Chain A
Amino acid sequence: MLSTKFAIPDVIFGRGAITHLAQCAKRVGAQRVFFVSDKGVEDAGWVGLVKGILRANGLECVYFNDVNSNPRDTQVQQGVEAYREGECDVVVAIGGGSPMDAAKGIATIVGNGGEIRDYEGANRIMRPLPPMIFIPSTAGSSSDISQFCIITDIKRRVKMSIISRSLVPGISIIDPQLLVTQDRSLILASGIDALAHAIESYVSRLASPFTELHARNAIRLIIDNLIPAAEDKDIQALEQLSIASTSAGMSFSNAGLGDLHALAHALGGVCDVLHGWVHPTLLPSVMRYNMPSCMAKMGDIGRLIALTDTASDREAAHMGIERLERLFGELNLNTKLRELVPEKSDLEQICATATYDACHLTNPRPASAEDLMSICEEAW
């Protein structure tokens, strides 16, 4: 039997948890904090809040916000220069997946040198990184929990997956109150990303009892709370989404993902689309493709999503997938791949690239580029 492993950061959770930032930073030796975020989080006012907390506690800070929704290798390099110039010691990031992944990339180069593409793949990071403290402002990417870092290689038009235990931050401060400033579409995009994390990691080839528990927990919480959180910005529902996202993060960080994310990464390298928007178009097709290899688990997922207690795994699985498609429809989300990929001719390249992605390895059913192509055809 394959041994598995479960690694997560210190998680500080609760409304107002952000106020512990300064003491956490000092605890890991901060004097000059390298602070990463982006324009959206700035506009929501959270950047100002963090700067205020640091200043009030006598911590200097170098602020870096040159981060896209899909962070680029060039931006990482600029961040590294800013870090070195500022002689910083601790990395703090607040935001969605992009600022956190950018921060991970910067920390990797600061600790190890070279360029970010040198670390593409698993376990290529050989030297320690500066301490990292992450504060997620969305309930989705779970970059604050995971050992994954996704950076776009501009020249190759590829989203690189960098996987290392060293990329698990030291401390994750999860404050559900930060979610109230998000708009409906961001709540949905990140919520569905978290759902995809949970579903893919549940059926992953590396799933373990420890990850399955969290995956199931995440699926249930997202199905129950996604609509009230997005439509009403109900704080209770947002808090549950936060928990769901963290659970999904614990699951996928340790179990890995599948071809949905392999395709999403490949697609994101070609067209700069918000990561969460890829899932409604491809998730049902990928689930159908994987069903033969993991019928029992797909049945479990179906029961959780469709809230059915039907005995047959196959029936439950189909009901779950249909329920998901209905849900995306009700939420007016785009479910057609053609809306995202301007040229159908790009699909071949996207599928070929996806087979090299680390997420492709853990997909429960082996898939060739042609298999992936058939999935895309279905979602077109």
Chain B
Amino acid sequence: MTAATTLSDLIGIEHSKLGFFQELQQTVTKLQQSNRELEEQRREIAAIIDGITDVMMVLSEDLRILSVNNEFHKLFPEGNPIGRHCYELFRHSGIACPECPAFRSISTNTVCKETAVFRIGDCNHQFEMLASPLKSPGGEENRVLIFKRDVTMEKELQAKYYQAEKMATVGTLATGIAHEVNNPLMAISGYAEGIQRRLKKYAECMPEDVAREFVDYTETIIGECSRCQRIVRSLLHFGHPETSIFGVVSLNDIIRESLTILGYHLKKSRKISLKLELAEDLPFIFADEPRLKQVMLNLVTNAMDALDGMEGVITVRTRLEGETMVVMEVEDTGTGIAPAIMDRLFDPFFTTKSMGKGIGIGLATCYGIIKDHDGDIDIHSVEGEGACFKVTIPIQLEKETDAVSLSCACCR
């Protein structure tokens, strides 16, 4: 022990029973300081979170929304989302989505990715979703952090790119074939015409019924040759999408020409009957002919696939709607569309077809083309009773003058 204790130590005038007051004051000051710091940190974090351009949500285990960032409010401007189920807002559904990555993320405790399309307002948005588990150390309820990035634009561009690529390939092929086929066709029709010329000279020298047969046969050959040439011409047209340009076109003609290309397929399937209900007084429209043909081809191919070998009718209809719009409908009596996938039909790469039958960009491309025409595609379908795709396009003839300046030299 130190022997420093003195009498004045024992009196301890300057020592008094220690109270908590000073310490309390210091503690309060420290707490206020740390509170300020925490508030600053909180604001900084909030600013960072609100600066994130992805939609961000924190969900509870049962997918209730616990908190969201600014981007979320941009997507759903009205109402407070806190406490509501995520699938109510995104799917308008009472049950969780089967592909939900949040569940997987919680159960496997890993970061899970998923891509899905949600219909928000009147538009389809395709989102890339990223779910990360937020395990709380206190053993409280687990939570999931969800990021949703709107990739609709990227996917559309991607789809367009694929389609363009494909069309370019098909185009090259078609052009090649068309040129190759054109020459024999010219020869066949030339020889057939030669026979006809000779017939006139030698008809008197042969029996009348034989001469009659020769005339009929050669006319048929020439007729079929010119039909082949028309097909070849449309193939050539089809093969040059990059040369396509908006111009004044007849929707009915587009439909007829497209059906010419599909004619063989339609005839081969005897179970399908094609009904044309085209409005005769349909006005010209301002449109991109080859791309509208592509839409037509896609919709009719889709209708044929929907019938899937069954007997049925495909009706192609046109009519004037109001004074500014034309409508083209492709209706089939096929299997129809399930309500669950209705929202996803126009998603790139969404397909119900089996492997090898298609990669699911047909309708997405149609959607893109029609949007380029300021038009719209609607679907009406009852499952099991068929479907009707309605394409509405504005007439817009006054745009013609602008368009000419855009057209390139090679296609004038």
Contacts and interface: CB of A to CB of B under 8 A. Distances in A.
Interface of A: 2-5, 7, 120-123, 125-129, 158, 160, 163-166, 168, 205-206, 256, 356, 358, 361-362
B15 A128 contact: no
A88 B18 CA distance: 19
11 contacts: A3-B11, A5-B11, A7-B17, A121-B5, A126-B18, A163-B12, A165-B12, A205-B7, A206-B7, A361-B10, A362-B7
Given A7-B17, A123-B15, A127-B18, A160 B1 contact: yes
Contact of B15 (A2, A127, A165, A205): A165
A33 B17 CA distance: 21
B405 interface: no
Contacts, number: 62
Interface size class of B (residues with CB under 8 A): 20 to 34
A356 B1 contact: yes
Nearest to B4: A121
Nearest to B24: A128
B18 A361 contact: no
A39 to B, nearest CB: 31
A129 B18 CA distance: 8
Nearest to B17: A165
A358 B5 contact: yes
Nearest to B8: A2
A356 B20 CA distance: 32
Contacts of A7: 16-17
B15 A164 contact: yes
Tell me the interface secondary structure of chain B in the complex. loop
Contacts of B18: 125-129, 165-166
A362 B11 CA distance: 10
Interface in B20-56: 20, 23
Contacts of A121: 1-2, 4-5, 9
B11 A168 contact: no
Nearest to A153: B1
Contacts of A4: 11
A362 B10 contact: yes
A358 B10 contact: yes
A128 B18 CA distance: 5
By Cβ-Cβ distance, the 9 closest A-B pairs, closest first, are: A122-B9, A128-B18, A165-B17, A123-B15, A122-B5, A166-B18, A121-B5, A128-B20, A120-B1
B1 A168 contact: no
B2 to A, nearest CB: 6
Contacts of A205: 7
Contact of B10 (A125, A128, A168, A206): A206
Interface in B350-366: none
Nearest to B19: A128
Contacts of B17: 7, 165-166, 168
A72 B6 CA distance: 26
B15 A206 contact: no
Contacts of B4: 121
